[in-house]
């Protein structure tokens, strides 16, 4: 009889949005059991939060060092198997590295690290350790995104000619105009967030999505970023022109100062024979555009969808699913990999996608700093 995968979590305590998303996702398919972790750097808050989760107090640790030491003392059949890293960006690399060195599987929030060099170091270590490593580009878990990927691979829209991705938020708008307030926000602090705020936070989602659904790599980019104020070191808005390796062209538009927007992530891919469009705020529908026919709408939960899209559905058609379900599908893919089960291609974003994301962030900033020049992805 197979037991549930033993899960640990670093970060994500209190009222953290990403924390509850990960915990619900891990429970969704009954594959994981949360057994311990360190949820807050403040020991009192950490243990108070863990008590609400009714965790064994002996497996609630004050630091990652204590977690690694404590779990390494346990027998293999009781030890945490995989750890989710839900901390601010600057902690991703040291934590993921320490976990890999001690033979834990890792699920890590994006961006993977704060530098491309760090990402490459993790990739080399992961190859040595043969560990499962997922980077949570959550939106790839939506069934209709997986349907889009399958339809493009099967030639439904023909050779890709144009790509257009938009990710607009407005949450930072009231913060950026207040000098004192923006200096206290960790996402606007390079030492904690890395070299990019907007592109690093949400632009990397759009980049990963583009390569995921098309099955092709971006070749060259040209970026124009907006910082708004001279004393602000972090981008809050940007436009990135894209050239794919098959010569298709397009754009990634990303903003956190799009006033009034909430989480407006849209994906549109156009080929010689048709187009496909998807909207994150209405994620259960995939629009299929034809040049000489009325456009079609594919809906999740129906038998006409692909096997990987069907596998990511938990309730019948007509009942909406959302962000928790998308993350749950990624956790399910990781579980299959840990347990050695047969899986679909692309069931979870791997470390490779995280490394590509970090390269994209650095190339975007490089392009902007060079006066908006074309730069090549490696």
Q: Is the pLDDT of residue 1 over 70?
A: no
DSSP 98-128: HHHHTT-EEEEPSSS-SSHHHHHHHHHHHHH
Alpha carbons 294 and 296: distance in angstroms, whole number? 6
Angle (deg, nearest 10), helices 92-101 and 64-72: 10
Instruction: Return the residue matching tokens 């059991």.
Output: 33
| Residue 334 belongs to some domain of the structure | no
Both 161 and 79 in one domain: the answer is no
pLDDT in tens, 240-256: 999 999 889 999 999 99
Please check whether residues 121 and 153 belong to one and the same domain: no
Provide mean pLDDT across the span 257-281.
Answer: 98
Q: In this model, does residue 319 exceed pLDDT 90?
A: no
104: domain CATH number is 3.40.50.720
Residue at 375 is within a domain: no
β-partners of residue 251 are 164, 241
| Sheet of 249-255, strand order | 296-299, 285-289, 275-279, 264-271, 160-168, 249-255, 237-244, 218-226, 375-376
Does residue 129 share a domain with residue 252?
no
Beta bridge partners of residue 8, listed in sequence order: 36, 83
Same domain, 209 and 355: yes
pLDDT band for position 230 (50/70/90)? very high
Q: Are residues 171 and 257 in the same domain?
A: yes
Q: Is residue 324 assigned to a domain?
A: no
% of the chain with per-residue pLDDT over 70: 99
Whether pTM exceeds 0.75: yes
pLDDT digits (tens, 9 = 90+) for 121-147: 999 999 999 999 999 999 999 999 999
- Tell me, yes or no, whether 226 and 78 share the same domain: no
One domain, residues 165 and 276: yes
Total domain count for the chain? 2
Q: Which of 115, 138, 161 is the last residue of a domain?
A: 138
pLDDT mean across residues, the chain: 96
158, 163, 148: which is closest to 291 by C-alpha? 158
Rounded Cα distance, 270 and 72, in Å: 51
Q: Which domain holds residue 150?
A: 142-317+351-369
At residue 2, does pLDDT exceed 70?
no
Instruction: Check if the beta carbon of residue 143 is closer than 8 Å to that of residue 344.
Output: no
Say which residue the tokens 């350790």 belong to: 129
Ordered DSSP codes for 256-283: S--TT-SSEEEEEEEESS-EEEEETTST
Last residue of a domain, one of 138, 168, 191: 138
Q: Are residues 193 and 281 in the same domain?
A: yes
Q: Are residues 165 and 298 in the same domain?
A: yes
Q: In what order do the strands lie in the sheet with 5-11?
A: 32-38, 5-11, 82-86, 105-108, 133-135
Question: Domain check: are 77 and 176 in the same one?
Answer: no
Q: What is the pLDDT of residue 315?
A: 86
CATH number of the domain at 263, please.
3.30.360.10
Q: Looking at 117, 138, 159, which one is the last position of a domain?
A: 138
Could you tell me the pLDDT band of residue 378, with boundaries at 50, 70 and 90? Answer: confident
pLDDT at 235: 97
Q: Give the DSSP H or E segment for 33.
A: strand 32-38
Per residue in 50-83, pLDDT tens? Answer: 999 999 999 999 999 999 999 999 999 999 999 9
Answer yes or no: is 255 within a domain: yes
Give the mean model confidence (pLDDT) for residues 190-214. Answer: 96
Q: What is the mean pLDDT of residues 311-330?
A: 92
- Whether residue 24 lies inside any domain: the answer is yes
Average pLDDT over residues 82-103: 97
Same domain, 167 and 128: no
Q: Which residues, listed in sequence order, are joined to residue 255 by a DSSP beta bridge? A: 168, 237
Do 299 and 246 share a structural domain? Answer: yes
Q: CB–CB of 288/298 below 8 Å?
A: yes
In a domain, 323, yes or no: no
| Distance from C-alpha of 237 to C-alpha of 54, rounded to nearest angstrom | 41
């Amino acid at each position: 009889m197979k037991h549930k995968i033993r899960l640990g979590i670093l970060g994500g305590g209190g009222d953290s949005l990403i924390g509850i998303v990960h915990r619900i996702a891990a429970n969704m398919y009954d594959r994981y059991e949360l057994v311990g972790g360190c949820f807050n750097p403040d020991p009192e808050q950490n243990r108070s939060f863990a008590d609400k989760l009714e965790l064994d107090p002996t497996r609630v640790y004050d630091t990652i060092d204590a977690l690694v030491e404590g779990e390494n003392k346990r027998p293999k059949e009781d030890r945490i198997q995989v750890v989710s890293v839900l901390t601010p960006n600057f902690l991703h690399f040291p934590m993921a590295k320490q976990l890999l060195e001690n033979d834990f599987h890792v699920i890590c929030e994006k961006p993977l690290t704060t530098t491309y060099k760090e990402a490459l170091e993790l990739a080399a270590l992961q190859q040595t350790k043969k560990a499962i490593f997922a980077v949570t580009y959550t939106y790839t878990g939506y069934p209709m995104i997986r349907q889009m990927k399958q339809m493009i691979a099967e030639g439904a829209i023909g050779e890709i000619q144009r790509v257009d991705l938009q990710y607009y938020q407005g949450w930072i708008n009231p913060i950026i105009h207040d000098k004192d307030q923006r200096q206290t926000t960790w996402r606007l602090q390079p030492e904690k967030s890395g070299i990019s705020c907007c592109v690093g936070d949400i632009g990397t989602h759009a980049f990963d999505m583009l390569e995921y659904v098309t099955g092709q790599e971006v070749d060259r980019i040209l970026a124009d970023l907006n910082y708004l104020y001279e004393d602000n070191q972090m981008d809050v808005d940007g436009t990135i022109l894209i050239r794919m390796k098959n010569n298709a062209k397009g754009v990634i538009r990303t903003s956190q100062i799009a006033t009034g927007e909430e989480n407006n992530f849209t994906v549109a891919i156009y080929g010689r024979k048709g187009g496909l469009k998807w909207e994150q705020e209405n994620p259960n529908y995939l629009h299929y555009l034809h040049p000489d026919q009325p456009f079609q709408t594919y809906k999740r939960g129906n038998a006409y969808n692909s096997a990987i899209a069907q596998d990511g559905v938990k309730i019948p058609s007509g009942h909406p699913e959302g962000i928790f379900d998308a993350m749950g599908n990624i956790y399910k893919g990781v579980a299959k990999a840990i347990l050695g089960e047969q899986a679909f291609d692309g069931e979870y974003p791997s470390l490779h996608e995280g490394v590509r994301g970090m390269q994209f962030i650095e190339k975007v900033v490089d392009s902007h700093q060079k006066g908006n020049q074309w730069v090549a992805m490696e």
